[in-house]
Amino acid sequence: MASFVTQGIDHIGLTVCDLSASKAFFEGALGWEQFGGNADYPSAYMTDGAAKVTLWERKTEDFNGFDRHKNIGLHHLALKVATSDALNALFEVVQAWPGVEVEFAPELSGKGPKEHFMVLEPGGTRLEVSYDPR
């Protein structure tokens, strides 16, 4: 058995275009809750009870969109749900959320059996949600 120095991910920090829109999306569409933040460095600390994400508000307006072939850093944030029905129900909520751009609706990932969808949340982060029955 390997002995690792680290013990998993503590949190993921995301710089977003609009902190209030991203916070509202994480709370309203995904059901997460805020557990802290820092008004001096505009941020909101969010959790789903297992994962933690820090949303940081950007300080510049010169964002031209994420290009997965050119940009370095986070490609997307991937979250998981417990069932295929939960995936489809969450997609219905997320796709109707103001400011969300749907990249693709629920579909098989590769040849399956994993299913997933991908959106751009209102603050600019690519978000994948998946269900894997394995």
**E runs forming strands in 1-134:** 12-16, 33-38, 43-47, 52-57, 77-80, 101-108, 115-120, 126-131
Q: Does 65 reside within a domain?
A: no
User: What token pair was written down for 10?
Assistant: 């503590």
Domain count, the chain: 1
Work out whether the CA dihedral 94, 97, 100, 101 comes out positive or negative: positive
Could you tell me the residue range of the domain that residue 44 belongs to? 12-60+74-131
What is the pLDDT at residue 61? 66
Strand partners, 104: 118
Strands 115-120 and 101-108 turn out to be antiparallel
Q: Does 52 reside within a domain?
A: yes
pTM of the full structure: 0.86
Three-state SS at 9: coil
Q: Does 42 reside within a domain?
A: yes
Average pLDDT for runs of 10 along the chain of length 134: 83 91 97 95 95 88 62 82 97 97 97 97 94 96
